[in-house]
């Protein structure tokens, strides 16, 4: 059963109210799905009238766009911060998997909307997700290309294909966290993802 946010009726600035409604919208989309969540669901969670939600997100398209912008910004940030910087290639690859698992616990609504969006192949929002996916693949591919230059990844590895497979594993990691998988199982999957992405066999030691 949906629980309204009791502090919603407190007088807030327009910026604070919009942020609060957007947080409620993310939760509503996580519960009902990108294709089914409505202004009414958001209003119920926020404890405000439906017209109040419409005053910030005029149409359902506006509401969907705002929620997906939040998810898009989150994915770009977590992938960029995890795979970027001066970390070694295996450290970076492992960091993203660990961060996805962490956020499945700490930001479940964000992760659920991402998972739902990623499967909406017949929805109007699908082209936007495909564009985002290309950007995320590009970030991972850049890391793998660095690994090839550093000699820790075989020259023959197809970095673009490996990036696609590796990021696809993010779904698996998130779903494992939601299903309550144990630490040993999680570590085994992450190790497998890192090795596959780097073109390494199970018996080969990971480079430092």
Q: What is the pLDDT of residue 106?
A: 93
How many H helices and E strands in the chain?
9, 0
Q: What is the pLDDT of residues 6-43, one digit of tens each?
A: 444 567 898 999 999 999 999 999 999 999 999 999 99
Q: What is the pLDDT of residues 65-75, one digit of tens each?
A: 999 999 999 99
Q: Using CA atoms, how far apart are residues 28 and 185, in angstroms rounded to an integer?
A: 31
Q: Using CA atoms, how far apart are residues 97 and 90, in angstroms rounded to an integer?
A: 11
Q: What is the pLDDT of residues 156-195, one digit of tens each?
A: 999 999 999 999 998 899 899 889 889 899 999 999 999 9
> What's the token pair of residue 143?
């890391």
Q: What is the pLDDT of residues 109-140, one digit of tens each?
A: 999 999 999 999 888 999 999 999 999 999 99
Q: Which of 74, 94, 102, 96 shows the shortest CA–CA distance to 177? A: 102
Q: Which of 139, 164, 132 shows the shortest CA–CA distance to 83? A: 139
Report which of residues 207 and 101 the model is more confident about.
Answer: 101
E strands, the chain, are: none
């Amino acid at each position: 059963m949906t629980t309204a946010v009791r502090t919603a009726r407190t007088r807030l600035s327009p910026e604070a109210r919009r942020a609060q409604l957007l947080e409620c919208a993310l939760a509503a989309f996580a519960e009902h799905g990108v294709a089914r969540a409505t202004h009414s669901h958001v209003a119920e969670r926020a404890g405000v009238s439906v017209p109040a939600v419409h005053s910030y997100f005029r149409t359902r398209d506006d509401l969907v766009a705002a929620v997906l912008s939040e998810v898009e910004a989150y994915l770009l940030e977590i992938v960029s911060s995890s795979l970027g910087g001066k970390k070694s290639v295996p450290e970076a690859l492992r960091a993203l998997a660990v961060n996805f698992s962490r956020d499945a616990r700490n930001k479940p609504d964000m992760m659920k909307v991402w998972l739902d969006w990623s499967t909406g192949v017949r929805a109007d929002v699908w082209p936007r997700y495909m564009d985002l996916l290309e950007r995320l693949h590009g970030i991972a591919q850049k890391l793998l290309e660095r690994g090839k230059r550093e000699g820790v990844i075989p020259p023959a590895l197809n970095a673009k294909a490996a990036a696609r497979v590796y990021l696809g594993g993010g779904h698996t990691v998130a779903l494992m966290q939601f299903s309550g998988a144990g630490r040993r199982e999680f570590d085994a999957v992450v190790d497998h993802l890192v090795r596959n992405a780097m073109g390494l066999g199970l018996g080969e030691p990971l480079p430092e």
